[in-house]
Amino acid sequence: MIELNDISFSYTDDQPVLNNISFSLEKGDTVGVVGVSGCGKSTLLRIIASILPSGDSHKLGGKVQIEGRSPDEYRKTGNLSFMFQEATLMPNLTVEQNIELPLNVRGVKNSSKTVDLLKTVGLGQFSDYLPKQLSGGMKTRVALARSFITEPELLLLDEPFSALDIAWKSKLYNELEDLKNLHSTTVILVTHDIQEALLLCDKIIVLKSSGQIMGKEVIQSDMPVEERVLHVSDYLEEVYSRHYIPIQKLIMDDGTSSPTGNNRILKSEVNETVDSVHNR
């Protein structure tokens, strides 16, 4: 579905962000992108979505194709949704109106689809609420429902769950998976959280601080996402040596901001964390 060939990008001549990024995704894949802060994860999403801020000094090289189209052409088909770290809801619109906004922009009305999505994210009784009346988790659920109102082929997620506690995250992980399966959506998730990437993704790409790909992991597990979330301790124990450690090591060994020595995460500490989550 998606082909990236030798993508390079810089905001200025002396500020390279991405260097020779190449990978391809099949329809229905869920791919995580991890790496240290500033390695170009969010910029990569914006290149795929063709929503980079304008700038005379920006330099973009290489080629991106989505279903045989350029990112700009593909975005205009309406088959792409982008979910940001902030919910970015319109403050003067109700929950229902915020979810329907992408359809209204197109001049389309589909109340039944809105009702179905409200039920899926558990907000049916809050349809008339304004964003100021919602908790952070509820706002994220509205944004998730809005992302799926157009039944997108491609969903780009830029750390949308980072500010939520583990209980909300677990619920939204399952809701995301339900919606993804319902619409056969391809998902690219940018996250700082290796555990989150392992729970949600089929493949994980590790970016280096210099903006290069320094690792790719194909997750080997027969557990569906719902089972991974429900039995998180067992699942993380299964993938710990095979995937968690290699990804963590790549990130920790990466240059400038890498933790060293006594700061490294030990297996016993991970087990304590996941046991705590499981017990909740």
* 199-241 confidence digits (pLDDT tens): 999 999 999 999 999 999 999 888 999 999 999 999 999 999 9
What is the per-residue pLDDT for 163? 75
Structure tokens at 222: 């027969």
Above 90 in pLDDT, residue 94?
A: yes
Above 90 in pLDDT, residue 272?
A: no
User: Where in the sequence is the domain holding 244, given as residue range(s)?
Assistant: 2-79+152-279
CATH code, domain carrying 59: 3.40.50.300
What is the per-residue pLDDT for 85? 84
In a domain, 126, yes or no: no
What is the per-residue pLDDT for 255? 55
Bin 260: left if φ > 0, else alpha if -120 < ψ < 50, else beta.
beta
What is the per-residue pLDDT for 265? 35
Percentage of residues in the chain with pLDDT exceeding 70?
A: 90
The strand order across the sheet containing 2-12 reads: 15-25, 2-12, 59-66
CA triple 132-137-139, angle to 5 deg: 45
In a domain, 244, yes or no: yes
Above 50 in pLDDT, residue 195?
A: yes
In a domain, 145, yes or no: no
Question: The whole model's pTM is what?
Answer: 0.85
In a domain, 90, yes or no: no
How far apart CA 84 and CA 93 sit, in angstroms, is: 18
Mean pLDDT over the full length of the chain:
86
In a domain, 259, yes or no: yes
Span 110-118, average pLDDT: 85
* 49-68 confidence digits (pLDDT tens): 999 877 777 889 999 999 99
How far apart CA 122 and CA 35 sit, in angstroms, is: 32
Span 146-172, average pLDDT: 88
* Number of domains the chain is built from: 1
Above 80 in pLDDT, residue 109?
A: no
Above 90 in pLDDT, residue 278?
A: no
Pick from 240, 234, 228, 231: which is nearest to 266 by CA?
A: 240
* 168-180 confidence digits (pLDDT tens): 788 889 989 988 9
Pick from 254, 183, 248: which is nearest to 217 by CA?
A: 248
In a domain, 261, yes or no: yes
How far apart CA 173 and CA 232 sit, in angstroms, is: 12
Bin 164: left if φ > 0, else alpha if -120 < ψ < 50, else beta.
beta
In a domain, 114, yes or no: no
38: confidence class by pLDDT, cuts 50, 70, 90: confident
Span 14-27, average pLDDT: 90
Span 153-180, average pLDDT: 88
In a domain, 204, yes or no: yes
